[in-house]
Amino acid sequence: MAHSRPSTIAIDGPAASGKTTLGGLLAERLGYLFFDTGVLYRAITWAAQGRGLNSSDEAALAALAAELKIDLEVPAVSDGRLYTVRVDGRDVTWEIRRAEVDREVSIVSAYPQVRRALLERQRAIAAGGRVVMAGRDIGTVVLPEAGLKIYLDASPEERARRRYLELRARGESADYQEILARMRQRDELDREREAAPLRPAPDAIVLFTDGLSIEETFAKVWALVENWRQRRGKIEVEEPG
């Protein structure tokens, strides 16, 4: 018998908490679309840098966010990518992960006008259902009605270690201390901003993944998906009115 499953799943959490890996696996298992919203903010930051826009120019950045052509595609290259990101047709999958983008993306993403310009795009992608969406504010702002909300967390040291290993695996030079410092800074900006700050939605399930392998994390999340109907029933009974 087919299980009843949430048609939209939100995965939020700080940098390198495993949202992309987990979201990709979950979407694959469910036959859903995986959409990593961090790509939008990264693509805008990357394009702004290429066009020489100042990171303090909110109006120009918001205009760019409204018009920039950003596409996520099924990859035709097998170099460890989960998807191919194109900006105006150009493959920028790895360029948007570089340190220069990391340094400015949380400044760009804190602007309310930029976030507003991206909100409808994100909702349109999720409108048909059967989607796993990852980011910082998916459960709180973009898809407050998501059927299942996961907030993935891990200590900054564990997350920096994971990011360090990822960079090394791609053959890029990486300095652990620098990654840790930069990540803490980005997390602080993401948590402290006024527009859609990073925080778990009240109805999110928080998973702390230090010491858990990706398989173990996936198993926990899969159990949540499988028990979804049952758990919702329970919550409804426990919260009368």
Q: Can you give the binding site for ligand CDP, defined by CB under 6 A?
A: 15-16, 37-38, 41-42, 105-106, 109, 135-138, 186, 190
CB nearer ligand CDP, residue 38 or residue 231:
38
**Is the separation of the CB atoms in 213 and 154 below 8 Å?**
no
CB of 240 to ligand CDP, least distance (A): 33
CB nearer ligand CDP, residue 32 or residue 46:
46
Closest to 209 (Cα-Cα) out of 30, 37, 21, 8: 21
Closest to 45 (Cα-Cα) out of 105, 1, 133: 105
CB of 41 to ligand CDP, least distance (A): 4
CB nearer ligand CDP, residue 8 or residue 106:
106
Helix (H, G, I), strand (E, B) or coil at 114: helix
Cβ count near 181 (within 10 Å) = 13
CB of 192 to ligand CDP, least distance (A): 11
CB of 135 to ligand CDP, least distance (A): 2
**Is the separation of the CB atoms in 16 and 163 below 8 Å?**
yes
Cβ count near 201 (within 10 Å) = 20
CB nearer ligand CDP, residue 137 or residue 158:
137
Residue whose token pair is 């930051």 = 45
- Identify the burial level of 101 via C-beta atoms within 10 angstroms of its C-beta, where 0-12 means exposed, 13-18 middle and 19 or more buried: buried
CB nearer ligand CDP, residue 37 or residue 217:
37
CB of 83 to ligand CDP, least distance (A): 12
- Identify the burial level of 224 via C-beta atoms within 10 angstroms of its C-beta, where 0-12 means exposed, 13-18 middle and 19 or more buried: middle
CB of 234 to ligand CDP, least distance (A): 29
CB nearer ligand CDP, residue 2 or residue 124:
124
CB of 70 to ligand CDP, least distance (A): 13
CB nearer ligand CDP, residue 6 or residue 18:
18
User: In the chain, at which residue ranges do the beta strands (DSSP E only) sit?
Assistant: 8-12, 33-36, 70-73, 84-87, 90-91, 131-135, 148-153, 205-208
